[in-house]
Amino acid sequence: MKHMSDCHCLPERPREACGIFAVYGLEDAAKLTYFGLYALQHRGQESAGIVASDGKQVVEHKAMGLVPDIFREEILENLKGNMALGHVRYSTTGSSLLVNAQPFRVQHLGKCLAIAHNGNLVNARQIRDELEDQGSLFQTTTDSEVVLHLAAKSLKKGLEQAMLDTMSQVKGAYSMVVMTEDTLIAMRDPQGFRPLCLGRLNSGFVVTSETCALDLVEADFVRDIEPGEILIINGKGLRSIRLEEKSRKAQCIFELIYFARPDSTVFGQNVYLFRKKQGELLAEEFHVDADLAMPFPDSGNYAALGYAQASGIPLEMGVIRNHYVGRTFIQPSQSMRDFGVKVKLNPVKDLLKGKRIVVVEDSIIRGTTARTRIKTLRKIGAKEIHLLVSCPPHRFPYHYGIDFSSRGELIAAQKTVEEIRGFIGLDSLGYLSMENLVKATCIPRADLCFACFDGNYPVPIDESFHKFCLEK
């Protein structure tokens, strides 16, 4: 049987997942959440929102764009209360529209329910069809909304039971936080695909996708929310309940490879040290005679550092990144077509001319970006170019990503390593082995999802699911 899990992608790199930051029992909760979202901006740049509660009233603000552009001082002033829930979004289900921005909020039986979700539900369409048949009206085209509808259906049984009922029906990846006027509920799917952790700040609590956000607001890391756990935080303190059904953990290896920030610890593994170790193990696997090693910033930075230290080949920052390029800029006209690439990255010609170079990258998806980059290095006179990739060939698709819904778009699914080397125009090409990828983590292999490399998807596939399938 074919399987799938939650995923999403870009034309050349899988994109970051969404980010969640929630606060309970702290003054200026919305402002703290604003800073938390700032730290999580790398997980989503399409839209952001904050919902705040003073225990009675819930207010919200969300918009398209980046956190600093959306929230101004006067907006945060209006988000009063000592509880807040924030979200930064990269759309994995549903279009990038304000209506789909999160947190998403509804009113039911006089109670407010707001949700911030990271991940994809594999059976969202099926549940939505059933709910619509029963007369439910949906406002968005996201999978997250089905969670609120399911929760609302069981709300009469109490909040805890409503969450348990909901969790037993949804399948796939979800790290999420639900907020009512006076309670925060943090949940992680039984496989634990996406990260979610609990922090403590003075007498209050913080729940967030990554520990780098805890660091920014000076909260102490307490623990990860466990896969299959529902953690309820309210005036009675903390209470944890779990789904009875036991599943194997399948934490996404791509959180470590590139979704998470290097200063975060996810699934108990520090990301920086993991990426550096990938580079060290690349040096063990491949011996190359070269004058220098370099990354294309920022992909491969830490693996390149680890590789250089372990191999003794000096690390150079051979390509300079323009830090002031925004997400979009006016496309150059045909006659200037190379500007698009050069505006972001420019090689240091005098450093690289006549040199034997080892480039360390964190991935090759379609191979077209790598090809363009290598062409540029050849043009400025690099003598030899060897490419080392800090993970195995990426052969299986992220089924939920519209851009990679088929294996046809993945170069490693179509070509051998030797053919990829030829296509990109390299002197040599090497991929880190699966054994060494596992060795780079301190996490047992059985607790991670490697489906993009080995095709073993831990959650059954709905073959017809895609990013826009909830848009009729």
Active site members: 18
Q: How far is the CB of 433 from ligand SF4 (least distance, A)?
A: 16
Task: Give the residue with the Cβ less far from ligand SF4, 38 or 193.
Answer: 193
The rounded distance, in Å, linking the Cα atoms of 65 and 72 is 13
Maximal C-alpha separation, the chain: 73
Q: How far is the CB of 396 from ligand SF4 (least distance, A)?
A: 7
Residue type, 131: L
Q: What angle do CA 193, 65, 225 make, to 5 degrees?
A: 25
Q: How far is the CB of 324 from ligand SF4 (least distance, A)?
A: 30
Q: How far is the CB of 348 from ligand SF4 (least distance, A)?
A: 34
Task: Give the residue with the Cβ less far from ligand SF4, 410 or 469.
Answer: 410
The rounded distance, in Å, linking the Cα atoms of 394 and 453 is 5
Task: Give the residue with the Cβ less far from ligand SF4, 5 or 209.
Answer: 5
Task: Give the residue with the Cβ less far from ligand SF4, 373 or 467.
Answer: 467
Site residues for ligand SF4 per CB under 6 A: 5-7, 193, 252-254, 398, 449-452
Task: Give the residue with the Cβ less far from ligand SF4, 172 or 347.
Answer: 172
DSSP 351-406: HHTT-EEEEEES--SSSHHHHHHHHHHHHTT-SEEEEEESS----S--TT-GGGSS
Sheet bearing 184-188, strands edge to edge: 104-108, 111-118, 175-179, 184-188, 229-234, 237-242
Residue 412 burial by Cβ neighbours in a 10 Å radius (0-12, 13-18, 19+) = buried
Q: How far is the CB of 441 from ligand SF4 (least distance, A)?
A: 13
Task: Give the residue with the Cβ less far from ligand SF4, 94 or 119.
Answer: 119
Q: How far is the CB of 124 from ligand SF4 (least distance, A)?
A: 16
Q: Which residues pair with 199 in a beta bridge?
A: 206, 221
Q: Which pair of tokens denotes residue 347?
A: 């090689």
DSSP 416-448: -HHHHHHHHT-SEEEE--HHHHHHTSSS-GGGE
Q: How far is the CB of 254 from ligand SF4 (least distance, A)?
A: 4
Cα–Cα nearest to 145, from 159, 128, 132? 128
SS3 51: strand
Q: How far is the CB of 177 from ligand SF4 (least distance, A)?
A: 20
Q: Which residues contact 130 (CB under 8 A, 6 or more apart)?
A: none
Considering Cα of 239, then 197, then 83, then 109, what sign does the dihedral take? negative
Contact indicator for 358, 292 with CB cutoff of 8 Å: yes
Sheet bearing 384-389, strands edge to edge: 292-295, 356-361, 384-389, 428-431
The rounded distance, in Å, linking the Cα atoms of 29 and 48 is 16
Task: Give the residue with the Cβ less far from ligand SF4, 14 or 86.
Answer: 14
User: Hunting for tokens 């968005």 — which residue is that?
Assistant: 140
The C-alpha R_g of the chain, in whole angstroms, comes to 23
Task: Give the residue with the Cβ less far from ligand SF4, 388 or 452.
Answer: 452
